[in-house]
């Protein structure tokens, strides 16, 4: 992109026609330090190749098969490392110019339709859902050009009632936000703030809140909604108050699509496709934003920022969607469960943007409506942003309502291209990723926008079990994409940039890494117990590539993490979660995928709970790892941890009691280091297994099973 001086900006703004159009609505900047990174990356690659060479050249007689297993694991790690580097090779950052957009297009801004999806009033509380709805209704955007649609796949009268309350409250809330330029436009988040009442920034604002009694209005509304949820129903009097479609005069539309047991509803993808059809008959905005019900808007200027990318005269016609990162408001100081996905949001997606755009991740994404509906990119294509449909002549609101009901019926999609060539793709747990890939393969590009003030904030998992289940679904879906006809290998080759294909590999091959990680987490420690070396001796020259790769990779990882805003402790927590996900979530993802391919299971959509009891929340805020439930994943994690603990005790006995320190140091130093790090990283797990007495401890059944398995394996291996 071309950069302009302030003087040239002002001169261009005074122009008209071609002169005005020459001023870009956004700029693209390359990340600093890319050359230094590439040099470091190259040296690490040479170290990895040297490790492969060592495994091939120096095969021993003792432990030959274990050695071959180490080589295969290191080969997998090395190849996968190359994929991760592709997402760092061409990092770019986007910067929109909203003032230019306003000067040029303020009277020509397009309609924007916003889709909010929910499915379960228990797991996704209606009070949370309406705060998200109110936050997106309050965007700093012309009111007449903004429409909000709530899809309730649970068909719950509780959610409907909450939306009815929200529509009434919005008559006070939206004008207040715009009049006083309130930036935090989710009422739930706004009134939960800890604010210094004496701070001059808030004095006038809170004076007016008190005058209008906004907080009381909100608390009363929230209390009525939560009371209805607690009862599990709403009264007939409240039901009678609803006046049908006529009531949504603020373009706030509620949709509960028809479902029948004999017709598969395709989860969130089906809900999104129904919303696309219904909205096309009501508002038909050329721009569509979709957000999850827990991801409230945190930036009132987000729409204007995004339109800079879509309406730019030079590059805008290439852009299919603009993806915001997933950010969360409940992350602890040191990010206990790695919920920020910091490296993905702050580094890797910026890298994918350099190759033609990031993937679509299902929430916080602005789409061009026509690309969602299957349009292929053609050079020189332009769009009339103000094009809109009108109701049929003489058609009443009631007739419109009756007509669009058919668009949300369970039989509408039969014998159509919906879910295939039109709308979101069906048949995959991560329908968003596969949909974004298909759009990019039709010639379109996407943009990753990560502003300083985050666009959306959601609720991150507060327990280890929730985190692992969520990553199982993601990794399982990504692996299914890799094995499907939409695999980046053959579907994307020649259609999208090769660097972007490798970027997709980074996520599609998450789960197959489980086998190499499990092998590396168990076998070297067991052979350490027997005193058999699987790594070069300290005195050998072959020790250098191992030590360099380990040191360089981890030092660079820490620096990268700190530059992205993390802390040393949060980096350590990230390493723990890296290990836990690879040895549990990814393993089960691979197994489920295999069973599905064999026809023994079907993919399902798991709704992550957005509520937690007070004790769980308190432990989470104290950064105590939450176990508390019996899970097969916990049995695996505990067993691996116990194997390494027993092996470490066994080798320490040799070092301290028998006095074999020199022998251990010379022959098995790297194995001893690996085993020690694995024990150290599992300290919270040992605490949960043996020492904690709260409800978040590891269940005793898991403890017994893991200890028995670890003791049996170590004993058998020691006597073989």
Q: What tens digit of pLDDT does each residue of 401-451 get?
A: 888 888 988 889 888 899 898 999 998 888 999 999 999 999 999 999 999
Strand partners, 328: 458
Q: Which residue has the higher pLDDT, 254 or 245?
A: 254
Amino acid 18: pLDDT: 43
How far apart are the two ends of the chain, measured CA to CA in Å? 65
Is the pLDDT score of 95 beyond 80?
yes
Is the pLDDT score of 338 beyond 60?
yes
pLDDT digits (tens, 9 = 90+) for 356-389: 989 999 999 999 999 999 999 988 777 777 776 5
The percentage of the chain sitting over the pLDDT mark of 90, rounded to a whole number, equals 64
How far is it, in rounded angstroms, from Cα 619 to Cα 624?
5
Q: pTM, whole model, 2 decimals?
A: 0.90
Nearest residue to 159 (alpha-carbon basis) of 127, 193, 207: 127
What's the helix, strand, coil split of the chain in %, to 5?
Answer: 55, 10, 35
Residues labelled as active-site residues: 153, 432
Going by pLDDT thresholds of 50, 70 and 90, the confidence category of residue 243 is low
Mean per-residue pLDDT, 702-714: 95
Is the pLDDT score of 37 beyond 70?
yes
Structure tokens at 685: 């797990």
Is the pLDDT score of 394 beyond 80?
no
Is the pLDDT score of 5 beyond 60?
no
- Domains in the chain: boundaries: 34-89+512-719, 111-506
Check residue 296 and report its DSSP letter.
E
Going by pLDDT thresholds of 50, 70 and 90, the confidence category of residue 209 is low
Buried b (16+ CB within 10 A) or exposed e, 112-151: bbbbbbbbbbeebbbbbbbbbbbbbbbbbbeeebbbbbbb
CATH topology (fold) of 111-506:
Spore Coat Polysaccharide Biosynthesis Protein SpsA; Chain A (3.90.550)
Average pLDDT, the chain: 88
Mean per-residue pLDDT, 595-601: 82
List strands edge to edge, sheet with 327-328: 296-297, 456-458, 327-328
Amino acid 194: pLDDT: 65
Q: Which residue has the higher pLDDT, 195 or 533?
A: 533
pLDDT digits (tens, 9 = 90+) for 264-281: 888 899 999 999 999 999
pLDDT digits (tens, 9 = 90+) for 250-263: 588 989 888 888 87
């Amino acid at each position: 992109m071309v950069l302009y001086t302030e003087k040239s900006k002002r001169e261009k703004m005074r122009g008209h026609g071609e002169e005005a159009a020459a001023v870009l609505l956004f700029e693209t900047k390359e990340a600093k330090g890319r050359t230094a990174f590439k040099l470091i990356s190259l040296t690490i690659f040479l170290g990895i190749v040297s490790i492969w060479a060592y495994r091939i050249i120096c095969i021993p007689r003792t432990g030959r098969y274990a050695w071959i297993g180490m080589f295969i694991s290191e080969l997998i790690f090395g190849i996968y490392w190359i994929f991760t580097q592709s997402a760092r090779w061409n990092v770019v950052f986007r910067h929109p110019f909203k003032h230019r957009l306003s000067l040029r297009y303020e009277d020509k801004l397009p309609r924007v339709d916003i889709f909010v999806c929910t499915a379960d009033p228990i797991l996704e509380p209606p009070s949370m859902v309406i705060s998200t709805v109110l936050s997106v209704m309050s965007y700093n955007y012309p009111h007449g050009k903004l429409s909000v649609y709530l899809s309730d796949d649970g068909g719950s009268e509780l959610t409907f009632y909450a939306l009815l309350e929200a529509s009434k409250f919005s008559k006070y809330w939206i004008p207040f936000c715009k009049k006083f330029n309130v930036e935090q436009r989710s009422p739930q988040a706004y009134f939960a703030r800890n604010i210094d009442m004496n701070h001059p920034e808030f004095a006038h604002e809170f004076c007016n809140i008190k005058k209008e009694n906004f907080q009381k209005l909100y608390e009363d509304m929230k209390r009525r909604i939560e009371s209805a949820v607690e009862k599990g129903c709403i009264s007939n009097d409240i039901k009678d108050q609803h006046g049908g479609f006529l009531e949504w005069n603020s373009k706030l539309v509620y949709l509960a699509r028809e479902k029948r047991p004999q017709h598969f509803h395709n989860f969130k993808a089906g809900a999104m496709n129904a919303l696309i059809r219904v909205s096309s008959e009501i508002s038909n905005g050329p721009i569509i934003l979709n957000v999850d019900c827990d991801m409230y808007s945190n930036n009132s200027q987000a729409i204007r920022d995004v339109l800079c990318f879509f309406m730019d005269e030079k590059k805008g016609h290439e852009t299919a969607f603009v993806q915001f990162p997933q950010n969360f408001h409940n992350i602890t100081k040191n990010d206990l469960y790695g919920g920020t996905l910091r490296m993905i949001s702050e580094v890797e997606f910026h890298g994918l943007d350099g190759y033609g755009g990031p993937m679509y991740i299902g929430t916080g994404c602005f789409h061009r409506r026509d690309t969602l509906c299957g349009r292929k990119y053609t050079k020189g294509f332009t769009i009339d942003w103000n094009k809109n449909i009108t109701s049929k002549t003489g058609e009443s609101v009631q007739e419109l309502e009756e007509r669009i009901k058919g668009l949300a019926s369970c039989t509408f999609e039969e014998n159509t291209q919906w879910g295939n060539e039109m709308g979101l793709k069906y048949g995959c747990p991560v329908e968003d990723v596969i949909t974004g890939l298909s759009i990019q393969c039709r010639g379109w590009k996407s943009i990753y926008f990560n502003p300083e003030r985050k666009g959306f904030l959601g609720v991150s998992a507060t327990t280890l079990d929730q985190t692992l289940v969520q990553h199982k679904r993601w990794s399982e879906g990504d692996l299914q994409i890799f094995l499907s006809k939409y695999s980046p290998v053959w579907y994307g080759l020649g259609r999208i940039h090769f660097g972007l294909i490798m970027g997709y590999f980074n996520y599609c091959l998450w789960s197959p890494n489980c086998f190499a990680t499990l092998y590396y987490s168990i076998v070297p420690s067991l052979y350490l117990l027997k005193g058999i070396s699987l790594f070069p001796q300290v005195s050998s020259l072959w020790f250098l590539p191992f030590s360099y790769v380990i040191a360089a990779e981890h030092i660079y990882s820490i620096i990268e993490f700190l530059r992205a805003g993390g802390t040393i402790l949060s980096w350590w927590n990230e390493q723990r979660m890296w290990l836990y996900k690879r040895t549990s979530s990814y393993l089960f993802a691979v197994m489920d995928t295999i069973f599905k391919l064999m026809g023994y299971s079907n993919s399902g959509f798991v709704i992550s709970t957005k509520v937690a009891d007070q004790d769980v929340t308190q432990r989470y805020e104290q950064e105590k790892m939450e176990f508390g439930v019996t899970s097969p994943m916990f049995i695996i994690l505990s067993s691996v941890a116990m194997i390494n603990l027993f092996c470490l005790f066994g080798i320490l006995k040799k070092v301290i009691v028998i006095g074999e320190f020199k022998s251990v140091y010379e022959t098995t130093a790297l194995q001893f280091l690996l085993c020690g790090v694995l024990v150290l990283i599992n300290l919270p797990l040992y605490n949960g297994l043996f020492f904690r007495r709260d409800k978040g401890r590891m269940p005793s059944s898991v403890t017994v099973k893991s200890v028995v398995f670890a003791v049996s394996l170590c004993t058998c291996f020691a006597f073989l």
